Amino acid sequence: MTSTPGSAGPTGAVTHPPSEPARRVRRFTRAERWAHRTTAGLLLLCVATAAALYVPQIAELVGRRALVVTVHEWAGILLPAPFLLGLASPAFRTDLRRLNRFGPHDRKWLRAVRRRDHRSGSRPAGKFNAGQKIYASWIAGAVLVMLATGLLMWFTHLTPLVWRTSATFVHDWLALAVGIVVAGHIGMALADPEARRGMRTGSVERVWARREHPLWLRDDPQDAPQDASDGGPEDQGG
């Protein structure tokens, strides 16, 4: 027995519409991503050239010490440039204010991290969590100290020997600390693909934002991010 079209009635197979892509929200403008990438590139160049100068095994492989020294010096001199240029972006300045603001929810986030508490709601965070704020502040301070001590080491004729000796000691040990902290930052980024995607494309999934940074979407109505798809308006600058 054959059936005619429509004879199956309500018992026929239901065709579901294709699932909608996850809704995304803008997290970073192009100017912010440019500043981050350029700073990261210069910082990694400083770390790599420092390793080539101070680790004998790497120095033997690289050679050309004078060139490595020159690259290291100029990478360090240019390190603050992306930050200074980024100040021209309103979005960059807004996020800078967020990074400089430490509230009660940040202290709660740190307590949860110390207790290794992963329960939902135990780690409240705005657009940036407390760990990101501390990292940004520490790196900013370290860069200023590295720049100052590096200049004392570069222009040897301007300062007494004791100043240069002290600057060398601080510069070398702080460089080691920076390398360790940056390695930790990279490791955490590798463990969070959506965070990396946000820095790469400018947008993140709304579900991720609500889970990782719930206060960002809930308590910032004046700066609430707009829905966007990859390559959409959020990628056009800032």
* Confidence (pLDDT) at 118: 83
How far is 113 from 119, CA to CA, in rounded Å?
11
The residue assigned the tokens 């990074």 is 99
Q: What is the pLDDT of residue 20?
A: 45
Check if the beta carbon of residue 205 is closer than 8 Å to that of residue 121: no
Per-residue model confidence as pLDDT tens digits over 154-171: 887 888 888 889 999 999
| Res 21: pLDDT | 52
φ, ψ for residue 99, nearest 5 deg:
-65, -30
Do the bridges between strand 24-26 and strand 203-205 make them parallel or antiparallel, or are there none, so unpaired? antiparallel
Residue 147 pLDDT greater than 70, yes or no:
yes
pTM exceeds 0.75: yes
Looking at per-residue pLDDT, the higher value among 192 and 119 belongs to: 192
pLDDT in tens, 21-31: 558 999 999 99
Q: What is the pLDDT of residue 15?
A: 47
Task: Return the pLDDT at 183.
Answer: 93
pLDDT digit string, tens, across residues 149-208:
999 888 878 888 888 899 999 999 999 999 999 999 999 999 999 999 999 999 999 999
Q: Please, which pLDDT band fits residue 106 given cuts at 50, 70 and 90?
A: very high
Q: Is the pLDDT of residue 234 over 50?
A: no
Amino acid at 226: Q
The 10s digit of each residue's pLDDT in 62-94 is: 888 899 999 999 999 999 999 999 999 999 999
- Tens digits of residue pLDDT in 1-19: 444 444 444 444 444 444 4
Which positions ≥6 away from 237 have C-beta within 8 Å?
A: 29, 30, 31
Read off the pLDDT band of 220 (50, 70, 90): low
